[in-house]
Amino acid sequence: MTLKVYTSLLLLFLVNSVWTRTVRQVYDELDPEHWSHYTSECPRECFCPPSFPNALYCDNKGLKEIPVIPARIWYLYLQNNLIETVSEKPFANATHLRWINLNKNKITNSGIESGVLSKMKRLLYLFLEDNELEEVPAPLPVGLEQLRLARNKISRIPEGVFSNLENLTMLDLHQNSLLDSALQSDTFQGLNNLMQLNIAKNSLKKMPLSIPANTLQLFLDNNSIEVIPENYFSAIPKVTFLRLNYNKLSDDGIPPNGFNVSSILDLQLSHNRLTKIPPINAHLEHLHLDHNRIKSVNGTQICPVSIAVAEDYGFYGNMPRLRYLRLDGNEIQPPIPLDIMICFRLLQAVII
């Protein structure tokens, strides 16, 4: 289980660099006689590296418009400019685009020409972070694998905008203006292969509805969530990394076995209002509970198995797997209770 999860996450976060490196290797020994051809096609505002002819670097140029993109381009870098519009004309010949980075511009929803994005049939990665979007742009390319929309002004998600994005593995909406009303029961419908969903730093008061069942990483930090519904995580049985730091969770807002979920390996509940450690599962490896209101910790009570069983060396194969426990910023006084060490034999770090 753990090996499969880490393999999937490795693919999710390293695919960018692996893919780019592979393409670079293909063109590292490009015949110099072709360089002049690539240079003549290159927009004068941009840089076209001869050793990487599929890439076009137009970042940090003070551009207000997107230049005409050559047909050969797969990777397009337009971040850190003053671009306000995304129209169809510059992309007329760029039918092979896989990756577009438009972070840190001035793009609004009205500045995106209708249908321009969905016509990019081969696009896999779309970065529109740090712009001025007020809703998720639509329609989107059906082949997208990553959509990054962090740090905009998004408060609306159009109905059905994700319904055809079956290949999407990462959706980043953190630091926007989403309220609970923006996340309906069918908002994420169609995201059958989503692995990471980031809705941190919004204005949510409730856990979002209908998270895709295959989600591995769910980030909900810096909201105002007070309650975890009963059996909430049974609908997302593969969730492995769960972040709920900087919310308003109290003991009463967590069901008796709310976090006793075998799939969760990393649970982060820092900066909440807890006065005791909630029941955890024996599979949990990292637990962050710093900066709550916990006054004491009792290893016998929080141990996922009985202390008597934990003391039995024959139990080693199934003993609790907790390796990292953070409790600083509470009202707990050292030393660490002995029963904590008896229960969690694999602990490598305890911070009080």
Buried residues in 170-187 as b, exposed as e (16+ CB within 10 A): bbbbbbbebebebbeeeb
The 10s digit of each residue's pLDDT in 41-62 is: 899 999 999 989 999 999 999 9
- In the predicted structure, residue 6 carries a pLDDT above the cut 80: no
Q: Is 172 left (phi over 0), alpha (psi -120 to 50) or beta?
A: beta
- In the predicted structure, residue 308 carries a pLDDT above the cut 90: no
Cβ contact 75:56 at 8 Å: yes
The 10s digit of each residue's pLDDT in 148-195 is: 999 999 999 999 999 999 999 999 999 999 999 999 999 999 999 999
Calculate mean pLDDT across residues 74-84.
98
Residue 40: the pLDDT is 60
For residue 120, give the nearest of 82, 87, 78, 153 by alpha carbon.
Answer: 87
What whole-number distance in Å separates Cα of residue 18 and Cα of residue 133?
Answer: 30
The 10s digit of each residue's pLDDT in 196-251 is: 999 999 999 999 999 999 999 999 999 999 999 999 999 999 999 999 999 999 99
This prediction's pTM: 0.88
Contacts of 282 (CB under 8 A, 6+ apart): 262, 304, 305, 318, 319, 320, 321
**Could you tell me whether strands 286-288 and 266-268 are parallel, antiparallel, or unpaired per DSSP bridges?**
parallel
- In the predicted structure, residue 252 carries a pLDDT above the cut 90: yes
Calculate mean pLDDT across residues 103-126.
97
Residue 180: the pLDDT is 97
Strand partners, 198: 172, 219
